[in-house]
Amino acid sequence: MGSSTMPWTADDIPDLNGRTAIVTGASAGLGLETARRLAERGARVVLACRNAERAAAAAEVIRESAPDAELPFVELDLASQESVGKAAVWVHDEFERIDLLVNNAGTLNRERSVTADGFESTFATNHLGPFAFTGLVLDLLQAAPHGRVVTVTSGLSARQGTSFELDDLFYERRKYKGLSVYAQSKLANALFAFELQRQLNGTGSRLISVVAHPGAAESDFAQNLGPTVAFLSQPPIRWMFRIFMQTVEMGALPTLRAATDPGVRGGEFFGPSGASKGYPVENKIGEQACDPELAAELWAESERLTGVTYRFDDDIAE
């Protein structure tokens, strides 16, 4: 499946019948494409989204190529710890195990806003929400024979020098710049995912944590990047930027490989073969994202802020 001569594609996704996946932010863009491909290969895919109508529309799109797909919906607003908790309760009521969790949903706010929990909105949605949700369904993930958590970060997290201040995660002191706040949150995603694998190591659990980034994909997320980028991302002129951008279908491949390739190991990082586009390969990531001290400190602070404490079972059933 995939090699130096034959790139990994969606055709390499194995049979997923009997498996249950949760994809956050599955109503559009990369999340929808990820959910569609998983469903086509037989997975039951839980569409974890904020909006029921958009999730229903996404399910219709998926059924065009996977007419028999099981596509349950759970309302999940990652900016709200109350919503995260309710969604986790629903998942426990519905399933005995979860084989795959894809932490895909994300946002970028150009102006600072605060959630009902008192958290800066971008950091709350992109990191604290996924951190809490993963922890609350961890037992179901560990109940699967070969469970996986795939956390979608950004190429920004691979760059050294992203501003990250544990004592100012919510940009209360620093000048608020949307892209900088977004980059910090995506670095937090990578730190979380690698630390999750460190904590799983040696526990006897078969659950693995993997990281992926889509490169520069032509998704509707570009609308969050400001009027100039949004204008340049419009279909009539988008073709001019294909030299460094790729389709949503290509952008979803690193996540799909991280989620389904049988050869993937915990702690690996997948992205495009080029700087911003290409078929999915294992990527290198900056030292900052792999810093175990920083990751441990962020982990402790995330547990404090969310009230979610991870519990790892040392005695996993075979």
The 10s digit of each residue's pLDDT in 259-297 is 999 999 999 999 999 888 999 999 998 889 999 999 999
Q: Which of 163, 159, 280 is nearest to 213 (CA)?
A: 280
Contact 80, 117 (CB under 8 A): yes
In a domain, 213, yes or no: yes
101: left (phi > 0), else alpha (psi -120 to 50), else beta?
beta
Beta bridge partners of 269: 211
Q: Is residue 87 part of a domain?
A: yes
The alpha helices in the chain, defined as continuous H runs, are: 29-40, 52-65, 81-94, 121-123, 129-136, 138-142, 178-200, 227-232, 235-238, 248-251, 253-260, 292-306
135 close to 196: Cβ distance less than 8 angstroms: no
217/236: higher pLDDT? 217
pLDDT tops 80 at residue 237: no
Q: How many domains does the chain have?
A: 1
Q: Which of 171, 182, 279, 310 is catalytic?
A: 182
Structure tokens at 47: 């569409």
Is residue 231 one of the residues assigned to a domain? yes
| 134 domain-assigned | yes
CATH number at residue 112: 3.40.50.720
User: What range defines the domain where residue 61 resides?
Assistant: 15-306
pLDDT tens track for 122-152: 999 999 999 999 999 999 999 999 999 999 9
pTM, 2 dp = 0.91
Instruction: Please report how the helices 253-260 and 29-40 are oriented relative to each other, as an axis angle in degrees rounded to 10.
Output: 40
DSSP reduced 3-state for 15: coil
Q: Is residue 10 part of a domain?
A: no
Please check whether residue 5 lies inside any domain of the structure: no
User: Does some domain include residue 290?
Assistant: yes
Within a domain: residue 176? Answer: yes
| Helix (H/G/I), strand (E/B), else coil: 23 | strand
Q: How far is residue 100's CA from residue 288's CA, in Å, rounded to a whole number?
A: 27
Q: 147-203: per-residue pLDDT in tens? A: 999 999 998 666 666 889 999 999 999 999 999 999 999 999 999 999 999 999 989
Is 310 in the active site?
no
Query: And the tokens for 24?
Result: 């956050």
